[in-house]
Amino acid sequence: MFDASTTTPLSLDAVTLTLPSAAGPVEILRGVSLTVEPGERVAVVGPSGSGKSSLIAVAAGLEQPTSGAVRLFGQDLGRLSEDGRAKLRRGKVSLVFQSFHLLPNMTAEENVSAPLEIAGRSAAAKTAREWLDRVGLSERLRHYPHQLSGGEQQRVALARALAIQPELLFADEPTGNLDAANASGVADLMFELVAETGAALVLVTHDPALAARADRQIVMGGGLVVDPA
């Protein structure tokens, strides 16, 4: 039975994901169960193609599972529409991607203030400027993503994710596109800010050192959790 409490940020119960392809259906997730407690930092590791990024997409409600249940803060995502899932994420869930995914026509400040504005928070621009200062980009407020380096873009993405003070942060290979120096800086910043905000963290990474900084590691292989550690 699935009885996660409403304060549990994330629970997955026997989640499967099968996607169509030219060569026939592909089973991406084959029955994943996982619970993340408030403030808990969970690293998801495993080889490429093991389903780590798909796990985040399903867990964040960006992708609908084929079967099983995903609960975010106690709410079954399967019962919510796309807009309902977006509304549930709003102000509570943030995502950081390997490819940054900043809005290309918005400045760094506007990118950070966007989720705050969507959530209807007051003084969004002021908060955005404060968070960009926290990540060392106070001189880059008016710069567009294409005017920033990869490390700077990821720091903007981190500020965007944390400025909303989320209760759950999904980070999918946040340092995967960065050189060693930038990767280390962004990782330090992420763990520092997550600790400060008390957000739960689901971190997908290939980096054993980064994964070791989490409270718990789960290992995925072939669409399954092979080692729940």
Q: Looking at beta carbons only, is 45 or 96 nearer to another protein?
A: 96
Q: Looking at beta carbons only, is 69 or 86 nearer to another protein?
A: 86
Structure token digits, residue 226:
């092979």
Contacts of 22 (CB under 8 A, 6+ apart): none
Q: Is 82 among the residues that bind another protein (CB under 8 A)?
A: yes
Q: Which of 14, 69, 86, 141 binds another protein (CB under 8 A)?
A: 86
Q: Is 141 among the residues that bind another protein (CB under 8 A)?
A: no
61-80 binders of another protein (CB under 8 A): 62
- Going along 92-177, which residue ranges are E strands? 93-96, 168-172
Please tell me whether residue 118 adopts helix, strand or coil conformation.
helix
Q: Helix axis angle, 150-163 relative to 108-118, nearest 10°?
A: 20
Q: Is 188 among the residues that bind another protein (CB under 8 A)?
A: no
Q: Is 101 among the residues that bind another protein (CB under 8 A)?
A: yes
* Choices 64-72, 89-97, 202-210, 218-226 (CB under 8 A): range interacting with another protein: 89-97
Sheet holding 67-72, edge to edge: 26-36, 10-19, 67-72, 75-76
Contact 227, 75 (CB under 8 A): no
Q: Is 95 among the residues that bind another protein (CB under 8 A)?
A: yes
Please report, as ranges, the residues that interact with another protein according to CB under 8 A: 60, 62, 82-83, 86-87, 89-91, 93, 95, 101-106, 110, 114-115, 117-119, 125, 160
